[in-house]
Amino acid sequence: MTEIILEPVLHRNKKQMLVKFPYNNKLIQLIKTIDGARWSQTHKSWLIKDGEQNVKEIYRLFEGVAVIDLKNNIEHANIGSPSPTNLTDEAIQKIEKFKYWLRSKRYSESTISTYTDALKTFLRFYNTKTVHEIGNDDIINFNNKYILANKYSASFQNQVVNAIKLFFRKIENTNMDIGQIHRPKREKRLPNVLSKEEVKLILNAHGNIKHKAMLSLIYSCGLRCGELLSLKPEHIDSNRNVLIIKQAKGRKDRIAPLSIKIVEMLRAYFVIYKPSFYLFEGQTKGQPYDARSLQQVLKQSLEKVKIYKPVSLHWLRHSYATHLLENGTDLRYIQEILGHSSSKTTEIYTHVSTKNIQKITSPFDYL
């Protein structure tokens, strides 16, 4: 899980708070909702007004999606977290051993970070006990007194449970009954989807062919942001009209069908920009385009066409899947194209597809 550091700072003779975290589009969209939040080029982090209310808002916004670290901030140290803040030496050693094991099993760095951060949160809560002394009742206590008391999401609770179960099963020999560790009921959230008309407006908003090609390729192949930025010219197979996505989420390769219109757009783009290593490169030749800059490209498109929804790049992927389903594409093919391990993940798009719902006549029309 991503760590967010809150650090007090005197900026332009005003007491403010630095909000530091690695680039993450979801977190950026959340921080923007705080009144007065802005990016500081000087500090290379986000700035918000210091104060208990804003710190509480940070905890509310990022609950379940990030771990908050109130660095050097004694004034707000008790907000949002009733647990002890320090890890014991034993816990630190166990976490490092867990991390070492995860790497040996070739878990992705993102998963390793998520699991170790979740485990840190749990072991901080019990820093008065040895790891061997922690049992099943302690997990129930943690869920009630930390997760529920702080109103953290079921998603966050599930991540912590996953980390705990894996840690105690593979690393720590205890009397804990792993099978008795229960997960929370899953939340059912629908993906955000744009209409075809909205997608067309967004993709055509830019005159710059590079910007247009990046957004169009995300939508036309259902790509994640990281997958787009990792593409290389050789991943475009124009003879078979397919895009090869290498080592994506879950370390899986997959292919996606390429629109003929996209192939023509990419040819025109290639003639102008002549990328040397990555398909889309930043200002430095041979380096991938910056994810934050790509989000700005989308933001500019939204401003130009006056769409005021909090659209993210991932909305284009959701929209692609939903539009495929509405066009009659078999769900199994959509699963393969998107790279979903489980068909249950893909089935969520059946709940946002309006193809059949629009055929239903409301009884209100007969009144």
Please identify every residue annotated as catalytic.
224, 249, 314, 317, 340, 349
Distance CA 103, CA 89 (A): 21
- CA 319 and chain centroid, separation: 17
Distance CA 247, CA 319 (A): 23
Name, in order, each residue with C-beta under 8 angstroms of 15's C-beta and a sequence gap of 6 or more: 8, 9, 50
Distance CA 301, CA 315 (A): 14
What dihedral do alpha carbons 73, 77, 79, 81 form, nearest 10°? 130
Counting Cα atoms < 13 Å in the Cβ hemisphere of 177 gives 6
Contacts by 160-163 with C-beta closer than 8 Å and gap 24+?
160/118, 160/119, 160/121, 160/122, 162/115, 162/118, 163/114, 163/115, 163/116, 163/118, 163/119, 163/122
Closest by CA position to 72, among listed 15, 3, 17, 7: 7
